[in-house]
Structure 1
Amino acid sequence: MTDLISTATTAIQLVTRLREINKNIANAEFNNALADLSIELANLKIQVAGLLEENDQLKRKLDQKDSSSVSFKGFAYFKSDGEGPFCPGCYDTAGKLIRLAKTSATFNVFGSHSCPSCKEHFSAA
């Protein structure tokens, strides 16, 4: 991440330099600075692509970990450590673990739990 910030800083400094050169000096120095800027920006692009790929891989690993430790019990999904309940509709359709909220006594006629995302109601009994 430090390399990424350093590359971006160098690119910005080169742009500033190009502005000054363009005002005062001949085309040769301008072209050299422009070439340096192009190289720095290409390096930045490669680093960003690497970070995006790494981020995508980490997200996939996290999704696999979450899905492998989830099982359906009664009316909802629960993690292997007992955490839950999670909405079965949201998990089955989108793979999202959305925690169900307990409904108040006034709304127990609709179910004991509700999903804040899809608004479905579920009964624990």
Structure 2
Amino acid sequence: MYWVIHAIITAYESYVPINPIPLWAEVKAALYFSLLFDGPIQTTMVFNKVVKPYFLRYEKVLDKHLANLPEDAKKYMQNVKDSDAVKNVMTMTKDQADKLIAEHGPEVMDKMMTIARMQADGSLEKKVKETLGGTKKE
């Protein structure tokens, strides 16, 4: 049960770019300390009162998505692999990548992968159309 809670916290941190919870690092440290050493917040209590009811409520939806996951993941990965942004990153030499990172910082690779994901799922084209649509010539 501890690892399920740990996985949920890790997933939360990876999907929420700016944390809306004040003092999140301190709250997380106290939570982990309590969970690991059977403090006032115990793993079984958190699992049974928070995690389990949530998963039971959405069990059918989750099962449906998990059943389609291999096919959906294969299709998504093929789209990402075929995107121009990924091809640009994958065909770079080490010197080109080092120069790009030196000029623009390490975040540039994350941005390129974000562009590749957006290109794969079609949201990049939509974003470009919205941007160009807002700047039409009069």
Q: Which TM class, normalised by the smaller chain length?
A: under 0.3
> What's the TM-score, normalizing by structure 1?
0.25
Bigger radius of gyration among the two? 1
Q: Which structure has the highest helix share of the two?
A: 2
Higher relative contact order (CA 8 A, sep 6+): 2
